[in-house]
Chain A
């Protein structure tokens, strides 16, 4: 019954018949397309042509459209090409296809120099937009925070505690593990290089200052941006996609107060705690390596540490933590609320959240370094 499709040319007196046979379905579409393209070259020949489809065993949209396309191309001459021998089964399908208008040309924008310049311009303008939206969000969060201060009952305590568990408690193992390893590596490298000058013991100074002032909080902030900033963006983004945020608005809730503020609060509380735990883990790791690899026994390590660092170093480190948390939180929430309808957009904004979060954390760290240097801390 079924067989490979064919389109044979049979001369019938003055006219030319194109006899379609076999299975004209999607599975044979490539063959069909070639045959039809071949037959389309007959357009403009003086003979009158008709298409005979009485021998077609099976027809679907692909076959019906190709026959219709052939008919249209051949008709462009003076006489209309007819389709003959159409069985009742398929006539409705062919009628359906006949209603299709010629395909509109889909314009693809080609890459031009002006187009590239335009893109660069848009990207630059986008930077301004990013900063404006960050300041906008900061204002909105502060306003919501102010309202909560006036009416403390309106604080979403359950939600805040839930997010605190997510971003703080559940992050402890990984943060402690990574900072512990970083502490080990700093101590090992320090001892390895300082030993040449016989200055092994100064590794304790380096470790103390570096971990408490810089590495501890910076590293933890970067990890939190990757771990919790991305989670915030994805959560808010998928809520935006499914119109949950619009639903909140229509019920008279402020999404900033319900969704953003608890997340921000949780992050601002979590980061100092994590930074402290991270610094302790790094010092412990460094001390362990100094003892086992450098031969500095724990007692000497602690004595040296007490001399080398003051409370100032610790304060400098820990003061930065809540500010960095606020930056990460604001970036993550802005990106989350900017998600559009598609899965691709969610991915782009989650990526942007982490990249911008880490970037701003490092910028803030630089600003703090200048500030503390100028006040002599």
Chain B
């Protein structure tokens, strides 16, 4: 186990090097470097509009970059061929901010969608796995036949997570998973991510604004500012940092309320 951890540190699951992203004349990311280690929960914070979602979307390949390289699972996404890329995409799951559930499919069909596409297994097994996933994200089996428009905000997040986990990925991207949830729901969600990370050995890349999530769920925190990572480390490192934004973020009124 210790040997494995050692290897993991030398072999990050995501390796981002010098990426630059520009929209028109505004440079959103400017020579950004970031490593995500296997098996960790990385919390990603930064001021609104700093480009947190842009970085996530750039890594997933939804936003084009003008310079730099991205390696996921050791595969360079720019030089990879289609089959390599599909292989990588199969091994990651993405939870979008608004859930992005397919509105014309039921919850069950939403969760089974990736399975149907990638695995040739019987309907029975897919149904059973769907029920297992629903139970894992804390939803009742009755939810399976509902449509996304009949779900509450928290349920949509949970179903979206179940869909992101449907192929048992090694890596999940969560874009503000707890935004719009009540504090209890958000706390449950943090516990859920923790539990899943332990049981499935997930690596989690989590964009968040939620200080509670940072304290309870994340192993490591990276802070984005001016298009670069301005700090990365444990929550203690963040609190000790002298960077003005970090000081405000981790020593502000809300932060103190969380700590005490």
Contact = CB atoms under 8 A, between A and B. Distances in A.
Interface stretch (A10-18, A26-34, A359-367): A26-34
A27 B121 CA distance: 10
B148 A101 contact: no
Nearest to B165: A61
B117 interface: no
Contact of A96 (B119, B124, B149, B199): B199
A342 B131 contact: no
Contacts of A104: 131, 141
B131 A101 contact: yes
B153 to A, nearest CB: 12
B121 A30 contact: yes
> Interface majority SS on B: helix, strand, loop or mixed?
helix
> Interface majority SS on A: helix, strand, loop or mixed?
helix
A97 B195 CA distance: 13
A241 B103 CA distance: 11
A103 B127 CA distance: 7
B149 A62 contact: no
B120 interface: yes
Interface in A39-73: 60-62, 65-66, 69
B198 interface: yes
Q: Looking at chain A, what size class is its interface with the partner chain?
A: 20 to 34
Contacts of B150: 341
A154 interface: no
B132 A341 contact: no
Contacts of A292: none
Interface string B188-203: 0000000100111100
Interface in B115-144: 115, 119-122, 124-125, 127-129, 131-133, 135-136, 141, 144
B167 interface: yes
Contacts of A60: 168, 200
Contacts of B125: 29, 33, 62, 65-66
Nearest to B132: A100
Contacts of B148: 341-342
A93 B141 CA distance: 19
A343 interface: yes
B104 interface: yes
A363 B144 CA distance: 45
B108 interface: yes
B108 A92 contact: no
Q: Looking at chain B, what size class is its interface with the partner chain?
A: 20 to 34
A130 interface: no
A22 to B, nearest CB: 16
Contact of A25 (B103, B124, B168): B168
Contacts of A119: none
B119 A26 contact: yes
A93 B201 CA distance: 10
B200 A342 contact: no
B127 to A, nearest CB: 5
B145 interface: yes
Nearest to B125: A33
B168 A103 contact: no
Contacts of B199: 92-93, 96
Contacts of B167: 26
B121 A29 contact: yes
A341 B131 contact: no
A61 B104 contact: no
Nearest to A66: B125
Contact of A92 (B115, B165, B198): B198
Contact of A100 (B128, B195, B198): B128
Nearest to A94: B199
- Top 5 A-B pairs, shortest CB-CB distance: A341-B149, A344-B104, A342-B103, A60-B168, A93-B199
Given A33-B121, A100-B128, A101-B131, 8 more contacts: A29-B121, A61-B129, A61-B165, A61-B200, A96-B132, A100-B131, A341-B147, A345-B104
Interface of B: 102-104, 108, 115, 119-122, 124-125, 127-129, 131-133, 135-136, 141, 144-145, 147-150, 165, 167-168, 195, 198-201
28 contacts: A26-B119, A26-B168, A27-B119, A29-B119, A29-B121, A33-B121, A33-B122, A61-B168, A62-B125, A62-B129, A62-B168, A65-B132, A93-B200, A96-B135, A96-B136, A96-B199, A97-B132, A99-B135, A103-B127, A103-B141, A104-B141, A106-B108, A106-B145, A241-B149, A342-B104, A342-B148, A343-B102, A344-B104
